[in-house]
Amino acid sequence: MNFSERLGIFLQRTVWQRRVGSWEHEASPGLERVIEAVVAIASVGSEDRVVDLGCGSGQVALEVAPFAKSVLGVDISGRMVDRMLERARLERMDNVSGRVSALETLSLPQGEASVIVSNYVLHHLSDASKAKVVKLCFNWLEPGGRLVIGDMMFGRGATSSDRQVIAGKIKLLASKGVGGYWRIAKNAIRYLFRVQEKPVSRERWLAMFADAGFEAIDSSPVVAEASVVFGRKPQAGSATGSGG
Ligand SMILES: C[S@@+](CC[C@H](N)C(=O)[O-])C[C@H]1O[C@@H](n2cnc3c(N)ncnc32)[C@H](O)[C@@H]1O
């Protein structure tokens, strides 16, 4: 891992250690819809062993836990994981466990999960790390396992749909007055210099799933900036799997 990747992990951990309370309060109707879509598309059942990558304080993990055999939430922030486990205890969910780790350095046994979900996390990773994590997910899934990723998915303005999403975000923030203008400036810097926000287009996500060997790849736009991408690891013996 090079210096800039290590620095990126340090910065993400520092930022998210401080945002446990604020993230829970910032949840927007748009984000709720993306969480609902991830949960619906994952379609978790009583035999599923679920891993939630970048679980936060359990926004997806605790939604699927009542239906799952087990849920492991992984997050770079120990405070996020603690909060998720506290919420699980309060809800008497004893099938939820947590792991503190950056996704860039996460190691899990092969075939550990039948479902892997991740919501609004992977745009924080470099493009190389996104592709690496998708390939690792292929390896961590059992044959037939599903990967469901919800995230902001748009490029840097090369297509008209990118430009529509960016213009919509600017309009929404501008309608919030001075605070909104400050956030436009902050987001523009992050986005242009790819400091904390590094989204890529839905097409790029579909290509990453295909490269990793997933089949039945599908995507659903949910709100203007966000989509959910689905892929299934081929059953053992199927000709289409790359094996990760
Ligand atoms: C925007 S929040 C999303 C939380 C939750 N998944 C949700 O749907 O609300 C991003 C989460 O990703 C975690 N995160 C950011 N970078 C990460 C990384 N490199 N490895 C693991 N977790 C990371 C943060 O700590 C934070 O909990």
pLDDT tens readout for residues 163-196: 677 777 777 777 777 777 777 666 666 666 565 6
Residues 70-88 have a mean pLDDT of: 97
Residue 57: CB within 6 Å of ligand 1?
A: no
Question: For residue range 39-50, what is the model confidence (pLDDT) as tens digits?
Answer: 999 999 999 999
Which atom of ligand 1 is closest in space to residue 58's alpha carbon? 5
Q: Whole-angstrom Cα distance, residue 154 to residue 28?
A: 19
Which atom of ligand 1 is closest in space to residue 124's alpha carbon? 16
CA 72 to centroid of ligand 1, rounded, Å: 14
Q: At residue 242, does pLDDT exceed 60?
A: no
Residues 18-38 have a mean pLDDT of: 87
The yes/no answer on whether domain 3-153+199-232 falls in CATH 3.40.1190.20 is: no
The percent of residues above 70 in pLDDT, for the chain, comes to 89
CA distances 227 to 42, 179, 230, 243, Å, are 14, 27, 10, 26
Which atom of ligand 1 is closest in space to residue 13's alpha carbon? 25
pLDDT at residue 225, rounded to an integer: 87
CA 158 to centroid of ligand 1, rounded, Å: 27
pLDDT at residue 244, rounded to an integer: 42
CA 129 to centroid of ligand 1, rounded, Å: 14
Residues 5-30 have a mean pLDDT of: 87
Q: Which of 11, 76, 148 to mutate to test the pocket of ligand 1 (most atoms within 8 A of CB)?
A: 76
Residues 217-243 have a mean pLDDT of: 84
Residue 129: CB within 6 Å of ligand 1?
A: no
Q: At residue 240, does pLDDT exceed 70?
A: no
pLDDT at residue 189, rounded to an integer: 63
Q: Which two tokens stand for residue 183?
A: 């956030």
The least confident of 1-5, 80-84, 169-173 is 169-173
Residues 25-36 have a mean pLDDT of: 86
Q: Tell me the domain boundaries of the chain.
A: 3-153+199-232, 154-197
3-state per-residue secondary structure call for the chain: CCHHHHHHHHHHHHHHHCCHHHHHHHCCHHHHHHHHHHHHHHCCCCCCEEEEECCCCCCCHHHHHHHCCEEEEEECCHHHHHHHHHHHHHCCCCCEEEEECCHHHCCCCCCCEEEEEEECCHHHCCHHHHHHHHHHHHHHEEEEEEEEEEEECCCCCCCHHHHHHHHHHHHHHHCCCHHHHHHHHHHHHHHHHCCCCCCCCHHHHHHHHHHHCCEEEEEEEEECCEEEEEEECCCCCCCCCCCC
